[in-house]
Amino acid sequence: MKLTPDDLRIREALEQIETPMYDIAGAVREQRARRSRRMPLRSPQRILAAVIAAVLLTATAAAAMVQLSGGWNALFGQNVMIPDGLATPVHQSQDINGCIITLEDAIISENDVAVLYSFRYADGSVVNHDSRITLLGNSNLLMDGSDEYCMSSSGIGSMDSQDPSVEYYYEAFSLSEDPGDRQLTLTIDPASCMEQSDTLPAPMDLAAIYRSHPVAYQEEDGGTERLVALQQQDCANAVLPQSEQAPEIQFAGAAFEGDILCVSLRMPAYDSYDSMAAQIEALRDIRTGHLYYGSLHSYGTDDGIELCETQFEGLTEEDLPYLEPQISYRRYTPLTKTGWSFSFCAPSANTLTRELNLTMAEGLQLDQLTITPLGVELSGTMPVDATSEGLLQFDDQQTPVVTLVLQDGTTVRTVSHSKSLGTDSSDTSIVEFDIEYQYQNGSESRRFLQTETIAAIRINDITIPIEE
């Protein structure tokens, strides 16, 4: 077939983009056959433009499919390291009442699943600022539609410093079965919004309230004991700054626990979806204007009342006539009536499990080692100090130092992520513990690893090879 000048130009253009030449007329006939209506024949130049656009669109779509969310950097640092192919891009979004959650990526291994998702408002407004905080509900992971939730082992959230209109969340789940290529469903409970007022003064006579019935707490007193004791005080004249808007929030009283002054508010049990709450932020000395800040504590009672107590050290009964509570209010309102649900699946990455019999310093016995793409877990036992009343505290000397040696000879250091302790049922003088580690490189960014790249693990000065 003799080629026209237009055909030659088309051939040269296609060769430049490394696309095989084909019969343009045949392609047009095929398109006509697939359509129920007649398609007008376009000029060769327009067909070439359409071909090039389709090639570029396909390449762009392929790149987008393997691009990981920038949320990894927002959560774990700009130098976060994730090997190619370890994370699975999911990129599912759901908009509920103008609140958009996107399940960005997932890492699936034989032992655990990690998900990264984001929240943003459809109108692009800032997610959190000084007076308004967005609260997402609990996240859960189901496998194969089962009603049994997988155990959540860790979770963090962080704003994108470059874009305050998006917040990223990372959640890791431990599983008892291999989740690879099985249907996994991430559910996120409805979202709410917390709006906080400015700090408002609450003029009242703390001295008269306390002296109407002096209360001294015992350290072991819970919410019910504290509330019963405070109910004997006369707080009738203690008017709070937003008593008309939130009459359910009342001043509960003042008491001492040893040398600590405890000042409390009482309110219905906290509901993050639809309620009002308040707390005493500080006490102002009306003589000097100085603000005393304390520590906040919350106590529930048997009848559903919550005591929000602020404790101040260094203040005495003589100071009471000159102290004015400073109170802030928080209103929780629902943003959505329903939650989000995302289903996905992917092959699972390998994990490594080794039985150990290592005796470390101070009676520490390591029994098992598990290495996953998310981190390292060590478990074992340790004697309990008879004077510790069953509570075990670890110091830097007792916590094992773990280093990974990769196949290329480089090393990866780790940092302790969490500890969980429990009493051994067979010997009450022994506790079980579990220490998880996060991979980190020298720039303090999180690192994720494919276990196939690990040659050995060092625990203190002991090197354990990882055989195939």
Mean local confidence (pLDDT), 183-189 = 95
Residue in 102, 75, 103, 272 with CA at minimum distance from that of residue 191: 272
- pLDDT 10s digits, 105-138: 999 999 999 999 999 999 999 999 878 899 999 9
Instruction: Give the separation between CA 142 and CA 187, rounded to whole angstroms.
Output: 8
Average pLDDT over residues 302-318: 94
Q: Which residue has the higher pLDDT, 11 or 56?
A: 11
Burial of 18 (0-12, 13-18, 19+ CB in 10 A): exposed
Tell me the C-alpha distance between 458 and 468, whole Å: 17
Percent of the chain with pLDDT over 70: 78
Note the pLDDT tens digit of each residue in 335-350.
999 999 999 999 999 9
Mean pLDDT in residue range 198-207: 96
Q: pLDDT tens digits, residue range 410-422? A: 999 888 766 666 6
In this structure, of 103-107, 144-148, 367-371, the range with the lowest mean pLDDT score is 144-148
Average confidence (pLDDT) over 305-332: 96
- CA–centroid distance for 229 within its chain: 39
pLDDT class of 386 with cuts at 50, 70, 90: low
Query: What is the rounded CA–CA span in Å between residue 381 and residue 329?
Result: 46
pTM beyond 0.85: the answer is no
**Which tens digits make up the pLDDT trace of 79-114?**
899 999 999 999 999 999 999 999 999 999 999 999
> Tell me, what's the pLDDT at 145?
82
How many residues in total does the chain contain? Answer: 468
pLDDT of residue 15: 44
Contact by Cβ (8 Å): 285, 202: no
Cα 142 to Cα 342: distance, rounded to the nearest angstrom = 10
Q: What is the mean pLDDT of residues 55-66?
A: 36
How many angstroms separate the Cα of 16 from the Cα of each of 19, 21, 23, 51, 57? Answer: 8, 11, 17, 13, 17
CB-CB contact of 121 with 127 (8 Å): yes
- Tens digits of per-residue pLDDT, 274-287? 889 999 999 999 99
Q: Which residue has the higher pLDDT, 382 or 247?
A: 247
Greatest CA span in the chain, whole angstroms?
A: 110
pLDDT at 297: 95
Whether residue 154 has pLDDT greater than 60? yes
Alpha carbon dihedral 217, 223, 226, 232, in 10-degree steps, equals 180
Residue 333 DSSP one-character state = E
The whole-chain average pLDDT of the chain stands at 82
Residue percentage of the chain with pLDDT more than 90 = 59
**CA–CA gap between residue 410 and residue 193 (Å, rounded):** 46
Smallest CA-to-CA distance from 296 within 285, 283, 312 is with 312
Rounded mean pLDDT of 224-246? 94
Tell me how far apart the alpha carbons of residues 34 and 145 are, in angstroms, rounded to a whole number. 40
Helix 24-34 and helix 44-66: axis angle, to 10°?
Answer: 70
Residue 305 has pLDDT above 50, yes or no: yes
pLDDT bin (cut points 50, 70, 90) of residue 159 is confident
Neighbours of 41 (CB within 10 A): 12
